[in-house]
C-alpha cells in the first residue's frame, strides 16, 4: 500500500472532455455465461454507437486476459481481481469521456457492484445477457463446455463454478431464438428507451 500520496485535480477533466465529445461517458456492463453472446453483442452495439459518432471502447474478457490480466486464472479469487482491475480501467476510460462497453462473465454481484460504486449515478449500466445454460452449451463457440464436461477444464462457469445472476440490472436482456443482429437491435432499443445511451 502506498502512503503519502495526494490526489491532483486537473483543469482538463471528465466534464470538459465530455463536453468536447458531446456525449455522456458511461460503462455498459454486459454480464452472462460463456457463450451467452456478450462479445458478439458488445461488438455490434459498439459499431452502432461508433457509427452514430460516439467515442467508444470495448473491453473484452479474452483480450484483457492476454495482457492486463494475463497473470490471472479462473479461481474465485482471480476472477475477483480480474474484475477489480477492469473496473478501475473502466473508470479511467469514463474519466476520459469515453462510452465503455465491457464483455466479462463477471459472475459475482459484489464485483459488479464494486464497479458501480466506483462511478457516479447513471454511469454504470448493468446488462444481464440472460441465456439459459443449455443454449450456451449448445452454441459452445469455443468448445469449452465440451472440455468442461469431460473434465479437461476445471472451475468452468455454470458447470463447476458459480454464476450469480444480477439482482436488479438496468437491462434484463431475455433470451429469444433470433439472430445476434436482432438481439443487438433489441438491446440498443432497450438502452435508448430507458435513456441509458
Ligand X SMILES: Nc1ncnc2c1ncn2[C@@H]1O[C@H](COP(=O)(O)OS(=O)(=O)O)[C@@H](OP(=O)(O)O)[C@H]1O
Residues identified as active-site: 106
195 has binding-site annotation: no
The yes or no reply on residue 166 touching ligand ADP (CB under 6 A) is no
Q: What CA–CA distance (Å, rounded) separates 104 from 85?
A: 12
The yes or no reply on residue 37 touching ligand ADP (CB under 6 A) is yes
Among 17, 54, 65, 172, which residue sits at the site for ligand X (rule: CB under 6 A)? 65
Grid cell listed for 112: 459488479
Q: What CA–CA distance (Å, rounded) separates 95 from 117?
A: 14
Q: How far does CA 47 lie from the centroid of its chain?
A: 16
The yes or no reply on residue 153 touching ligand X (CB under 6 A) is yes
Q: What CA–CA distance (Å, rounded) separates 180 from 115?
A: 27
Could you report how far apart the first and last alpha carbons of the chain are, in Å? 37
Among 18, 23, 31, 39, which residue sits at the site for ligand ADP (rule: CB under 6 A)? 39
Closest separation between CB of residue 83 and ligand X, Å? 6
The yes or no reply on residue 23 touching ligand ADP (CB under 6 A) is no
Neighbours of 48 (CB within 10 A): 16
32 has binding-site annotation: yes
Among 28, 41, 119, 197, which residue sits at the site for ligand ADP (rule: CB under 6 A)? 41
Q: Which residues contact 173 (CB under 8 A, 6 or more apart)?
A: 41, 127, 128, 129, 130, 183, 186, 187, 190
37 has binding-site annotation: yes
179 has binding-site annotation: no
The yes or no reply on residue 89 touching ligand X (CB under 6 A) is no
Closest separation between CB of residue 9 and ligand ADP, Å? 38
Question: Which 3 state secondary structure label does DSSP give 161?
Answer: strand
The yes or no reply on residue 87 touching ligand X (CB under 6 A) is no
The yes or no reply on residue 158 touching ligand ADP (CB under 6 A) is no
Q: What CA–CA distance (Å, rounded) separates 99 from 160?
A: 34
- DSSP-assigned letter for residue 37: S
139 binds, among ligand X, ligand ADP, none (CB under 5 to 8 A by kind): ligand ADP
51-90 residues in contact with ligand ADP (CB under 6 A) are none
Closest separation between CB of residue 56 and ligand X, Å? 19
Binding residue ranges: 32-39
Amino acid at each position: 500500500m502506498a502512503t503519502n500520496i495526494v490526489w491532483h485535480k486537473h483543469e482538463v477533466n471528465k466534464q470538459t472532455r465530455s463536453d468536447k465529445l458531446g456525449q455522456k461517458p458511461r460503462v455498459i456492463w454486459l454480464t452472462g455465461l460463456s457463450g451467452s453472446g456478450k462479445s458478439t453483442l458488445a461488438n455490434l452495439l459498439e459499431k452502432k454507437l461508433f457509427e452514430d459518432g460516439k467515442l467508444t471502447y470495448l473491453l473484452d474478457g479474452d483480450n484483457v486476459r492476454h495482457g492486463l490480466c494475463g497473470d490471472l486464472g479462473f479461481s474465485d479469487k482471480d476472477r475477483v481481481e480480474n474484475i477489480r482491475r477492469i473496473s478501475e480501467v473502466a473508470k479511467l476510460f469514463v474519466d476520459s469521456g469515453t462510452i465503455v462497453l465491457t464483455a466479462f462473465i463477471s459472475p459475482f454481484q459484489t464485483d459488479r457492484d464494486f464497479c458501480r460504486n466506483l462511478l457516479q449515478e447513471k454511469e454504470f449500466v448493468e446488462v444481464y445477457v440472460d441465456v439459459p445454460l443449455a443454449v450456451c452449451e449448445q452454441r459452445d463457440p469455443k468448445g469449452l463446455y465440451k472440455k468442461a464436461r469431460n473434465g479437461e477444464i476445471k472451475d468452468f462457469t455454470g458447470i463447476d463454478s458459480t454464476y450469480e445472476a444480477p439482482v436488479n440490472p438496468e437491462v434484463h436482456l431475455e433470451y429469444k431464438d433470433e439472430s445476434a443482429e436482432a438481439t443487438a437491435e433489441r438491446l440498443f432499443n432497450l438502452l435508448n428507451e430507458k435513456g441509458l445511451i
